[in-house]
């Protein structure tokens, strides 16, 4: 059986804790791989390698860093298919979707290639007589990243390219459910010339995470995952004096106004709800139909959803793959099974679905629940599967109030032809990312990604300007250079003024 080991100090390091975790091919249900689960000592070795590398990397020139990043970008570009194949084998998503994930991760590598522009700093000359003030940003040191299963390549790429471009060294703890893509990303970084120890990967579970949170040499933590763990990471890392950004779960709403193009809205709802089997933090999981359009919209969604082809991710005919684990599949199914008792109309029930020849895979079909109650489990919880809830609202105001009552605030979208209503929605809705006739408004690399409320703990969004800010700290240098002809100013015990 294949094993996945750590990547520390520029080379593969065999797991020594004696603990291994199973990695499953979600399409077959077979355990294909064992992943090393790090002990606190092994995490300590990765942090030590990163700390040693920081001594030179932290002082490296921007030209050195960007030369490596440009080579890295080219290698990643050439190996897109290989990265995507690893994602499909362990996550289950279809190959085209995995390629999309790699492309969106590459965006951040491209952003990192432009770090020269972003770290330019600011200078004010002659703020006082012969006094200049310069604001510069410097790296933090060793930074840790902890990532979820649903984007095993893209989410790590949201973090480490920018962190190392800013001069930090990095320890990545990927999801133990689909760990292989992270190792390939690290190997390619080494091939691009990234010095040993600048990017390290330790695999593991809570033991490894807690060791990172407690380690005194880890200066900052970037986390992406579910809300309860994000809250825990934010609290624990903050208590240990670390800078932390912790992105959590979501329940993303799509508000459809009566004037919307209902065919376009139904296309968008099906793509955004069922893509990647709903295992996206930006998936649309609740459609709010405003006015009298509900029945027609539900019918259009049903027609489209019924045609989606579900199968193994490496079959080019498949549009949707299986779920990550059997336990997750069963949990998702329980929301559909319990929906009718909590008042929903079950328009599509995907719980009995399987794929011939792959009966042990983690399959579930598409489910569509209509007239879902706001106090039902299917609405309240992040299901993270191919289950779309439809709710009804009488007016635009009722719809926005419903969305704003959600504890989550990651992404949201409005579908309408009315520019004035769309503009109001942008200003009134409580979410970090808003789409106007765009169902999955994931910001491009040079803007930042992040939610509000229980979808993000901390005050920095990830990548873009916020990413550069998160991975650096500011310093302001005030300099006085007397004119060579000037006599010394003499002693003055007064507080410095700007004269
Ligand atoms: P998760 O929270 O279970 O795991 C995320 C990471 O935390 C993993 O590396 C895991 O090993 C670690 N972890 C899990 N339990 C832990 C514990 N008790 N203590 C310490 N560490 C622990 O999330 P997941 O199931 O891998 O990913 C899916 C979740 O991530 C969904 O809720 C999804 O919405 C969210 N997500 C959010 C975003 C975003 O940008 N907001 C992006 C992707 C995924």
pLDDT one-digit tens code per residue, 289-316: 999 999 999 999 999 999 999 999 999 9
Instruction: Assess whether pLDDT exceeds 90 at residue 15.
Output: yes
The Cα–Cα gap between 159 and 189 comes to 14
Strand runs labelled E in 268-318: 284-290
Closest to 386 measured CA to CA, from 218, 217, 273: 273
Instruction: Assess whether pLDDT exceeds 80 at residue 204.
Output: yes
Q: Which residues contact 224 (CB under 8 A, 6 or more apart)?
A: 146, 147, 148, 155, 158, 230, 246, 247, 281, 462
The Cα–Cα gap between 431 and 326 comes to 32
Q: How far is ligand 1, taken at its centre, from the CA of residue 231, in Å?
A: 11
Q: Kindly write down the DSSP assignment for every residue of 151-190, as one continuous string.
A: -TTHHHHHHHHHHHHTT-EEEEE--TTS-HHHHHHHHHHH
Give the pLDDT score at 158: 98
If 0-12 CB within 10 Å is exposed, 13-18 middle and 19+ buried, where does residue 405 land?
exposed
The model carries a pTM of: 0.98
The Cα–Cα gap between 46 and 199 comes to 9
Nearest CA to ligand 1 atom 22: 206
Closest to 148 measured CA to CA, from 247, 214, 275: 247
Instruction: Assess whether pLDDT exceeds 80 at residue 72.
Output: yes
- Token pair recorded at residue 32: 């294909």
What's the pLDDT band for 217 if we cut at 50, 70, 90?
very high
Instruction: Assess whether pLDDT exceeds 80 at residue 499.
Output: no
Return the residue matching tokens 């299986």. 322
Q: In terms of DSSP bridges, do strands 31-36 and 367-370 run parallel, antiparallel, or are they unpaired?
A: unpaired
If 0-12 CB within 10 Å is exposed, 13-18 middle and 19+ buried, where does residue 86 land?
buried
Count of alpha carbons within 13 Å of 371, Cβ hemisphere only?
10
The Cα–Cα gap between 141 and 220 comes to 8
> Closest ligand 1 atom, CA of 225?
30
Q: Is 211 in the pocket of ligand 1 (CB under 6 A)?
A: no
% of the chain with per-residue pLDDT over 70: 100
Q: Is 150 in the pocket of ligand 1 (CB under 6 A)?
A: yes
- Token pair recorded at residue 147: 């990532």
- Count CB atoms within 10 A of the CB of residue 58: 17
Instruction: Assess whether pLDDT exceeds 90 at residue 489.
Output: no
Task: Cite the active site residues.
Answer: 281
What's the pLDDT band for 96 if we cut at 50, 70, 90?
very high
User: Average of pLDDT values for 133-155?
Assistant: 98
Nearest CA to ligand 1 atom 20: 206
Instruction: Assess whether pLDDT exceeds 80 at residue 216.
Output: yes
pLDDT in tens, 354-367: 999 999 999 999 99
Give the pLDDT score at 203: 98
What's the pLDDT band for 218 if we cut at 50, 70, 90?
very high
Region of 363 (left: φ > 0; alpha: ψ -120 to 50; beta: rest) is beta
What's the pLDDT band for 453 if we cut at 50, 70, 90?
very high
Instruction: Assess whether pLDDT exceeds 80 at residue 242.
Output: yes
Give the pLDDT score at 440: 96
Nearest CA to ligand 1 atom 16: 206
Give the pLDDT score at 59: 97
122: three-class secondary structure by DSSP: strand
User: Average of pLDDT values for 8-30?
Assistant: 98
Q: Is 249 in the pocket of ligand 1 (CB under 6 A)?
A: yes
Give the pLDDT score at 486: 87
Number of residues that make up the chain: 499
Closest to 321 measured CA to CA, from 129, 489, 88, 58: 88
Order the strands of the 6-8 sheet from edge to edge: 11-13, 6-8, 199-201, 169-173, 142-146, 218-224, 243-247, 456-457
- Which of 90, 148, 149, 244 gets mutated to test ligand 1 (max ligand atoms within 8 A of its CB)? 148
Nearest CA to ligand 1 atom 34: 249
> Closest ligand 1 atom, CA of 249?
34
The Cα–Cα gap between 217 and 241 comes to 11
Q: How far is ligand 1, taken at its centre, from the CA of residue 383, in Å?
A: 14
Return the residue matching tokens 């019918």. 299
Instruction: Assess whether pLDDT exceeds 90 at residue 497.
Output: no
Q: What is the dihedral of CA 424, 425, 427, 429, to 10 degrees?
A: 150
Give the pLDDT score at 487: 86
């Amino acid at each position: 059986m294949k094993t996945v080991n750590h990547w520390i100090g520029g080379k593969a390091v065999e797991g020594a804790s004696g603990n291994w975790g199973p990695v499953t091919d979600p399409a077959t249900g077979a355990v294909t791989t064992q992943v090393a689960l790090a002990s606190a000592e092994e995490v300590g070795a990765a942090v030590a390698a990163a700390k040693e590398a920081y001594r030179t990397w932290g002082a490296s020139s921007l030209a050195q860093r960007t030369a490596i990043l440009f080579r890295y970008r080219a290698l990643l570009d050439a190996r897109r298919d290989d990265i995507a194949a690893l994602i499909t084998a362990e996550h289950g998503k279809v190959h085209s979707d995995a390629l999309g994930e790699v492309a969106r991760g590459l965006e951040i590598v491209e952003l990192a290639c432009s770090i020269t522009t972003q770290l330019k700093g600011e200078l004010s000359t002659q703020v006082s007589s012969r006094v200049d003030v310069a604001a510069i940003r410097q790296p933090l040191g060793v930074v840790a990243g902890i990532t979820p299963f649903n984007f095993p390549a893209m989410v790590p790429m949201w973090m480490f390219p920018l962190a190392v471009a800013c001069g930090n060294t990095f320890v990545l703890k990927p999801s133990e459910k689909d760990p292989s893509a992270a190792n390939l990303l690290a190997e390619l970084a080494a091939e691009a010339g990234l010095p040993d120890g600048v990017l390290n990967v330790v695999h593991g579970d809570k033991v490894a995470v807690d060791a990172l949170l407690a380690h005194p040499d880890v200066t900052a933590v970037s986390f992406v995952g579910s809300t309860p763990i994000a809250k825990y990471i934010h609290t624990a890392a903050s208590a240990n004096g670390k800078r932390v950004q912790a992105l959590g779960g979501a329940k993303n709403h799509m508000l459809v106004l009566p004037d919307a193009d209902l065919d376009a809205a139904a296309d968008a709802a099906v793509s955004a709800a069922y893509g990647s089997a709903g295992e996206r933090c930006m998936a649309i999981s609740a459609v709010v139909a405003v006015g009298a359009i509900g029945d027609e919209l539900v019918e259009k969604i049903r027609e489209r959803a019924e045609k989606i082809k579900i199968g193994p991710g490496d079959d080019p005919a498949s549009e949707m793959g299986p779920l990550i684990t059997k336990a997750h599949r069963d949990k998702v199914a329980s929301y559909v099974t319990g929906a009718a008792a909590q008042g929903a109309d079950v328009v599509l029930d995907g719980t009995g679905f399987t794929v011939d020849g792959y009966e042990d895979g983690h399959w579930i079909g598409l489910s569509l629940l209509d007239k879902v109650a706001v106090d039902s489990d299917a609405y309240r919880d992040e299901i993270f599967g191919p289950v779309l809830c439809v709710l009804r609202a009488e007016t635009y105001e009722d719809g926005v109030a419903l969305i704003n009552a959600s504890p989550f605030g990651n992404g949201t979208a409005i579908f309408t032809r009315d520019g004035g209503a769309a503009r109001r929605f942008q200003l009134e809705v409580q979410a970090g990312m808003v789409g106007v006739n765009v169902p999955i408004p994931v910001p491009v690399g040079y803007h930042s990604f992040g939610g509000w409320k229980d979808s993000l703990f901390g005050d920095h969004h990830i990548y873009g300007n916020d990413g550069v800010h998160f991975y650096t700290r500011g310093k302001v240098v005030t300099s006085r250079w007397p004119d060579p002809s000037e006599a010394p100013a003499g002693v003055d015990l007064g507080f410095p003024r700007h004269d």
